[in-house]
Amino acid sequence: MANYKVTFNHKAEPVVVKSGTLITEAARLAGIEINQPCGGQGRCGRCVVQVTEGKVRQRSTLRLSSEDIGLGYCLACQSVIEGDLSVLVPEQEKVERRLVTDRTAVEVEPLPGYSPEYHQSLRRYFLDIAQPNYEDQTDDLSRLQKHLRVALGFEQVEIPVTLIKKISSAFREGNWQVTVYLDISSGEDGISLIRLVDIVPHHCENDNPIWGAAIDIGTTTVTLWLVDLWTGFVHAQVSEYNAQIRRGEDVISRIIYADKEGGLQELQQLIVGTINQLVELACKRVKDYTVTPEQILKVTVAANTTMMHLFLGVPPSYIRLAPFIPTFNQAPLVRAQEIGLHVNPNAIVDCLPGVASYVGADITAGVLSAGVDDTDKLTLFLDVGTNGEMVLGSKEWLVTCACSAGPAFEGAGVRDGMRATTGAIEEVWIHSETYEPTYRVIGGGKPHGICGSGLISLLAELFMTGVIDKAGNLNTSLSTPRIREGEHGMEYVVAWGKETVHGRDIAITRVDIDNLLRAKAAIYAGFIVLAQSVGVPLEETEQVLIGGSFGKYLNIEKSIQIGLLPDLPWEKFNFLGNTAVKGAYFALLSQENRERIREIASKMTYIELSADNTFYEAFMSAMFLPHTDINRFPSVMEAIQSVKVPIQS
């Protein structure tokens, strides 16, 4: 085995290592400490180094942008040395700044015409307080209240004890000039109060930022945008896995865990801990200002109903029990310290309103940011994840439902399924004559399994090439070694063991196919029920807006081929990314948008599918590829005819 020389930070003396050594290992030999908080698993991105000369094989490029990769950055713990190298180890501070944790970071335009004085509910005022003396011994709190009443016209201002503690020293340190922050929004409980959020000595500069955060708590991923409420500009976008994952992959298993002794408290601490990490990270990311978590004065939260319950520490027990009643859809405003959030302790935490146990604030926020409630077009809005939540409507009306699609599209319940990370097959093509597959792997290396988009792609190709029939049965008469009897019945081999990371064959089984059929049938049946409930043919849908991080990896053509999405012209589909955090951001910035979400939540009609007879019928009809009623999928019918594969029964 060859030996290679590795030079660190332009030192004279290189270290000599064997081929296949990791950069972290070589660094240790060279006496250089490389931080590996995740233990060298390639998850945290903190061990990033820059290879200025030579080549490495990167097992994973998770958390690196394409720009980073172009500049030679790689994860030291994931980079195998395959030649002489020259490596620069950046200062940790710089690593933190450049780290791109959020692969879903998007360009956000501040709201057009945004004016903090007009739109923002978090207000900043500079006060000149009349100094006390022996003739006017009014206490400091009354002095502040009087000023707020007389100078600003605010009659009832809630001033919590933790802020009363700060008043006297702020007055005197600022020589009777103070800056106060007030929130004038009213909570979901209809309690309209002005709330004092902070008081600090002196007047600050008028154009100083006022920091706020928009958060989407997903079952899998939590996303946070750090926003200057004064300009509306998003200064950092970060996301991280929800630390609750280790206590269950989906909402149902989390609810069950929460019912255990101490489980609820643990899950709350895990999600709050994840958010606290993101807050710290986001603060470090801001380039133009030094921001501390204590400066964040307002937080707006979108989440599905179960996540919102867990975030506030409210038992979600009854969400999973018929008739599926959540404890709340609209939470009152809370102060950050009440739930242990490490921003300003008195920061206002605004939990956006949901509609039902399985249609939460992530959907109402998504409807807002997608503009479904503001369009004349008949719109189908869709957030595909573990649950498929969907909304049909326009500015006239909105109906919604959630179908328990199961986690198949997230890679669970499928033998070789996995999440959409490095090593996942994300796209498959099958040759229509040899039945040999070609595939693309996330990260470019050997495959480890198949992620959701890969499964949709695979299922579509299997069907379009006649490897499986409309019921999902494998065609055993085809002459290819890839169709075989496996341990769990018939299966199709996508990658032979010699091609894979683990040396085992990657295949899709008949059981997997059934699970995928059920998942896609549930979603399509949801569309049908929504359309029927309002008496509108699904085909009349004028646009389909797809939110959620999974959404953006969906291949429209193949999703239609398997009957997951309705057969509409492709240009009617639009991927919007994380519509939930964007909606939270809109609501964080503008009272009008916040009010719109309230209206969306109250006007949306929720259809409980488990109580709906039409759903089961629609579901059974959709258990075929693409559907029992092929006329619903004219483009697929045409495509099948063009590849000249007979539709088997």
DSSP assignment letter at 431 = -
435 binds its own copies (CB under 8 A): no
Three-point CA angle 389, 392, 397, nearest 5° = 125
Q: Which of 28, 172, 260, 431 binds its own copies (CB under 8 A)?
A: 172
Q: Which of 158, 173, 499, 514 binds its own copies (CB under 8 A)?
A: 158
Residues numbered 607 to 636 that lie near its own copies (CB under 8 A) are 608, 610-611
CB of 162 to its own copies, least distance (A): 8
Show the tokens assigned to 532: 């029927």
Query: Which of 608, 409, 417, 406 has the alpha carbon at shortest distance from 508?
Result: 417
Q: Are strands 398-403 and 604-606 parallel, antiparallel or unpaired?
A: parallel
Q: Which of 66, 133, 206, 476 binds its own copies (CB under 8 A)?
A: 133
Show the tokens assigned to 29: 């030999």
Site string for its own copies, 347-386 (x = CB under 8 A): ---------xx-----------------------------
User: Residue with structure tokens 């059934």?
Assistant: 514
Are the beta carbons of 626 and 636 closer than 8 angstroms?
yes
User: How far apart are alpha carbons 261 and 379 in whole angstroms?
Assistant: 44
31 binds its own copies (CB under 8 A): no
Q: Are strands 157-158 and 194-201 parallel, antiparallel or unpaired?
A: parallel
User: How far apart are alpha carbons 492 and 430 in whole angstroms?
Assistant: 11
Show the tokens assigned to 316: 């979600």
153 binds its own copies (CB under 8 A): no
- Scanning 3-11, 45-53, 316-324, 536-544 for contacts with its own copies by CB under 8 A, the matching segment is 316-324
530 binds its own copies (CB under 8 A): no
Assign 246 to helix, strand or coil.
helix
Q: Which of 167, 343, 450, 618 binds its own copies (CB under 8 A)?
A: 167
201 binds its own copies (CB under 8 A): no
User: How far apart are alpha carbons 448 and 455 in whole angstroms?
Assistant: 13
Rounded to whole angstroms, what are the CA distances from 566 to 317, 409, 607, 612?
A: 35, 17, 20, 21
485 binds its own copies (CB under 8 A): no
Sign of the dihedral defined by the CA atoms of residues 234, 240, 243, 245, in that order:
positive
191 binds its own copies (CB under 8 A): yes
CB of 407 to its own copies, least distance (A): 24
Are the beta carbons of 34 and 52 closer than 8 angstroms?
no
DSSP assignment letter at 179 = E
CB of 134 to its own copies, least distance (A): 4
Query: Which of 39, 59, 55 has the alpha carbon at shortest distance from 47?
Result: 39
Cβ neighbours of residue 70 closer than 8 Å, sequence gap 6 or more = none
Show the tokens assigned to 225: 């945008």
CB of 327 to its own copies, least distance (A): 4
CB of 262 to its own copies, least distance (A): 14
CB-nearer residue toward its own copies: 31 or 134 = 134
Q: Which of 328, 429, 496, 575 binds its own copies (CB under 8 A)?
A: 328
CB of 613 to its own copies, least distance (A): 11
# of chain residues touching its own copies (CB under 8 A)? 54
Residues numbered 410 to 429 that lie near its own copies (CB under 8 A) are none
Show the tokens assigned to 71: 């500049």
Q: Which of 324, 429, 496, 575 binds its own copies (CB under 8 A)?
A: 324
CB of 304 to its own copies, least distance (A): 14
User: How far apart are alpha carbons 624 and 513 in whole angstroms?
Assistant: 11
Q: Which of 14, 72, 132, 345 binds its own copies (CB under 8 A)?
A: 132
H or E segment at 614?
Answer: helix 613-621
Q: Which of 53, 67, 128, 338 binds its own copies (CB under 8 A)?
A: 338
Can you point out the beta strands (E) in 232-342? 234-241, 296-303, 334-335
CB of 384 to its own copies, least distance (A): 23
CB-nearer residue toward its own copies: 301 or 312 = 312
Q: What is the chain's Cα-based Rg?
A: 28
Q: Which of 334, 468, 554, 556 binds its own copies (CB under 8 A)?
A: 334
User: How far apart are alpha carbons 522 and 530 in whole angstroms?
Assistant: 12
Assign 562 to helix, strand or coil.
coil
Q: Which of 156, 292, 438, 641 binds its own copies (CB under 8 A)?
A: 156
CB of 611 to its own copies, least distance (A): 4
CB of 335 to its own copies, least distance (A): 10
CB-nearer residue toward its own copies: 16 or 325 = 325
Q: Which residues bind its own copies (CB under 8 A)?
A: 132-134, 137-142, 145, 155-161, 164-165, 167-169, 172, 189-193, 312-315, 317-318, 322-332, 334, 338-339, 356-357, 606, 608, 610-611
